[in-house]
A and B are shown apart, each in its own frame.
Chain A
């Protein structure tokens, strides 16, 4: 862990060093990638390292890391023609305020947040795209089908934000012959009542990201209530699995970085076409809480096997 931390710190330092050295040479750089971060975190470091590795190995592209702080201090520190990769909602919001001609790719951003920023900034979607944090519903349905093959219905609590994409889930569940038991929540007060109602009938609760429904404060109540009803919860992040969800499909920063690098290379090859449309994570992992599984009496196969099985469903072997 310490080595990791040290390594990250070295990377960050070198990145910062690069930024400082290259600023006077911006005119010379034809294709540069600037990673905008709110502040250095292990996740950003993981992302940046992987991204740099991917790009350098393939095309010798240099990655420049800039924090919001540095950006606000010197707006000219960004090259006019460089691609900005904004890590996180906050960084994306910041990047949206840059020159509209500049290409911005948001990563590690929930789809609703991206949509909102895109609308608010009125930027051209050709130069403002993202790799979402959210896993596509079919993938999640596939996970449920993999670990709980016998379930026939599925409980979902939608909040105001997540409700916009509820039709996607409905489609996905229908495709998998699952009955979607949907509860819409518009205020925190309704949570417990609607959660109980949902749990009374549904076999499994699928958590979809929504700040109103699934936040730090409600997490325990939802998990405990589900547990009391002996109904598993399928989370949307690794943290959710650690907190007590039965399983989750998610993407790590490295997986996102790999996907990001592919997008960047593709974009640099054909700059005139602009950025590809926003897309869900291409690479993902599955995590299972074995303790919860044991408590609920559910037999689950290996995470890698699950992951591979999901991969095969999405991209059948040629």
Chain B
């Protein structure tokens, strides 16, 4: 077997079989399932609580107005106990706990008055509905008592009207909606990119740090050159990343099919199909290119960082410098994305790795030209070439030189070890 393939297959198999990789693949799925189940139970229980609270509220209505009795008792049949129609009966029933209270509705000085007595506060929702109906009844009573004729009544019914001559085109609205969706999708995309690169940065750095720390690197270099070893580690890590993405795409498609079958969600999906397609289409454009270049650069830098660790017990710290840098890129994008046409944001969108986060936001906000995008991509590509060239010259020194000096001193010592 080709020696590059030996390193790739060994690294890939070792990582893919590890418990941490399986946990890493399954944990987001498990979290989504658990969150879904919790969400479902919370929403059903709050719905049932809301409706049961309202239904559980029982009152009696004492009134001499037959129209009110008719309308309320019909509308709120589950709340108003029809059989209790006198204050004495109502008081008894309240005391015995049969009902929560009673509402005395009467008219005094041409004004409808409501007086509630009970063991429990009047249900807010029921009160709101009740007051709307009472207002209407009071309106009728006012008109009746005012002694005005029909013509005057109609005159009083005249209301101002508002007419707008703005007719939003369907096309513009769709475009705005799509932009919002793309910006939203971009945030999700950036978050996924951040976590994926963070994870694989740690995987490749730790794997190399273990080889160096456990002193196997010297044995390996007696069989292959450092660049082949480096390439094998990087390619294996990229393959693992692809494996995870493929697993999630397959699971995503299955979930999409299953969810589409659920009529209520399926309806929402159908209504927004065009927009969903646009968002997916956007993800496979420049975003994908930036994703690939960003992930490759991060994995390359992490593989360099991993070779700076001297002891196997420090291997978990191997990716720390890269993790801090990634965090910085992520937060620059999050905090400054609202002002994506600012000069600082424009400048950083040409710096490799940061461009992966920031240029996507500029594309989503439609404030970068095609030339700008191509220049940024070219810079990232050239950066990869320079990185590889540097590795070709210096990686052997990084793997063989062991010292406890600081980050930059270690690089200097390794570069001088020739």
Q: Do A and B bind each other?
A: no
A residues near B (Cβ < 8 Å) are: none
